[in-house]
C-alpha cells in the first residue's frame, strides 16, 4: 500500500479570498435532462466573471468527453484497448453514475478550495451521491468548503418538450421496444433533494431570475466580498 500523506499548502484560504474578493464555493445544479441546469450555470458564470469574480462551469457533457469519458471515447482518443477502456471508462449504470458524481465532486471541491466559484451542471440523480459530495466539502482537510445545492425543479413535461438532443424521444422509443434505456426520468429514477439551498423552476422563472436568486444567496452568505 502506498504511503500517501496529505500536505497542507502554505497559502491560506483567507489569503486567496482577500486576493479574489470572494470566498470559493461549489454551486451544484441538479435536475432532469433539459431542465435548464447548464443554461442557468453558464449564465451565472458570465455574470460573475463580468463583475470580476472567478468562476468556472463544469458541465456534464463536457466532463464526459474527458475526465469521465466512456469506454468508446477512451478507445478513440487515448488508444485504450477494450479491457482498459472498460476498466476506466464511465457509462450510465448506477455504479458509473455514482463514480461520475464522486469525481466531479472532488474536482469542484479543489476549485472551490482554491477560491473559485465551481458551478457544476449534472443530473446527479441519486440523493446519496449528492450528499456524499456535500460531505466531502464539509470534511475538507483544510476546512469546510461551502456547498450550495440548487434544485432545478423543471417539470418533466417541460424538459421533454424542449428535448434539444432528442434524448427523451429516443429513450421512450427504446423502452417502447422492450429494452432498457437507463434514462433518468423515463426508466431510471431521479431522487429530488430533500433540503436544497435553492430551488428554481425554468418553466415558471426566467434564467435572469435564476441568476439573481443565486447571486442574492451568495451575497447573503457573505461569499461575495
pLDDT band at 7 (very low <50, low <70, confident <90, very high): confident
- The sheet carrying 147-152 orders its strands as 55-59, 117-121, 25-30, 147-152, 198-200
The mean predicted confidence, pLDDT, of the chain is: 95
Give me the residue spans of the domains in the chain. Answer: 14-152+189-218
Cell of 199: 430551488
pLDDT > 70: percent of the chain: 100
The DSSP bridge pattern shows strands 55-59 and 25-30 to be unpaired
Q: Supply the pLDDT for residue 1.
A: 52
Residue 2 has a pLDDT of 72
- Point out the residues that are catalytic: 124
- DSSP secondary structure, 132-199, as one string: HHHHHHHT-TTS---EEEEEE---HHHHHHH-TTSHHHHHHHHHHTT-----BTTTB-----SS-SEE
Which tens digit of pLDDT belongs to each residue from 66-100? 999 999 999 999 999 999 999 999 998 889 989 99
Q: Are 24 and 146 in contact (CB under 8 A)?
A: yes
Render pLDDT for 185-214 as a digit per residue (tens, 0 to 9). 999 999 999 999 999 999 999 999 999 999
Over 90: is that where the pLDDT of 8 sits?
A: no
Per-residue pLDDT at 165: 87
Give the CATH number of domain 14-152+189-218; options: 3.40.50.300, 3.60.70.12, 3.30.360.10, 3.20.20.140.
Answer: 3.40.50.300
Residues 62/120, Cβ–Cβ less than 8 Å: no
Residue with cell 442574492: 216
pLDDT at residue 127 greater than cutoff 90: yes
**What's the CA gap between 26 and 49, in Å, rounded?**
15
| Residues of the binding site for ATP | 31-38
C-beta neighbour count of 157 within 10 angstroms: 9
**Contact (Cβ atoms closer than 8 angstroms) between residue 76 and residue 65:** no
- Decide if pLDDT at 219 tops 70: yes
Each residue's pLDDT tens digit, 10-36: 999 999 999 999 999 999 999 999 999
Binding site: which residues? 31-38
Amino acid at each position: 500500500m502506498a504511503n500517501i500523506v496529505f500536505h497542507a499548502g502554505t497559502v491560506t484560504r483567507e489569503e486567496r479570498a482577500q486576493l479574489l474578493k470572494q470566498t470559493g464555493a461549489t454551486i451544484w445544479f441538479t435536475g432532469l435532462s433539459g431542465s435548464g441546469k447548464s443554461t442557468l450555470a453558464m449564465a451565472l458564470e458570465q455574470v460573475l466573471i463580468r463583475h470580476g469574480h472567478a468562476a468556472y462551469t463544469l458541465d456534464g457533457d463536457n466532463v464526459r468527453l474527458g475526465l469521465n469519458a466512456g469506454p468508446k471515447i477512451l478507445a478513440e482518443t487515448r488508444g485504450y484497448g477494450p479491457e482498459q477502456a472498460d476498466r476506466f471508462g464511465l457509462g450510465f449504470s448506477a455504479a458509473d453514475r455514482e463514480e461520475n458524481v464522486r469525481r466531479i465532486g472532488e474536482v469542484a471541491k479543489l476549485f472551490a478550495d482554491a477560491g473559485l466559484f465551481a458551478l457544476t451542471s449534472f443530473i446527479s440523480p441519486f440523493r446519496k451521491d449528492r450528499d456524499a459530495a456535500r460531505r466531502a466539502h464539509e470534511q475538507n482537510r483544510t476546512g469546510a468548503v461551502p456547498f450550495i445545492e440548487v434544485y432545478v425543479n423543471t417539470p418533466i413535461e417541460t424538459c421533454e418538450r424542449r428535448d434539444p438532443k432528442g434524448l427523451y424521444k429516443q429513450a421512450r422509443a427504446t423502452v417502447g421496444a422492450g429494452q432498457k434505456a437507463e434514462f433518468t426520468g423515463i426508466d431510471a429514477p431521479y431522487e429530488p433533494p430533500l433540503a436544497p439551498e435553492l430551488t428554481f423552476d425554468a418553466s415558471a422563472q426566467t434564467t435572469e431570475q435564476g441568476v439573481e436568486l443565486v447571486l442574492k444567496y451568495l451575497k447573503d452568505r457573505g461569499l461575495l466580498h
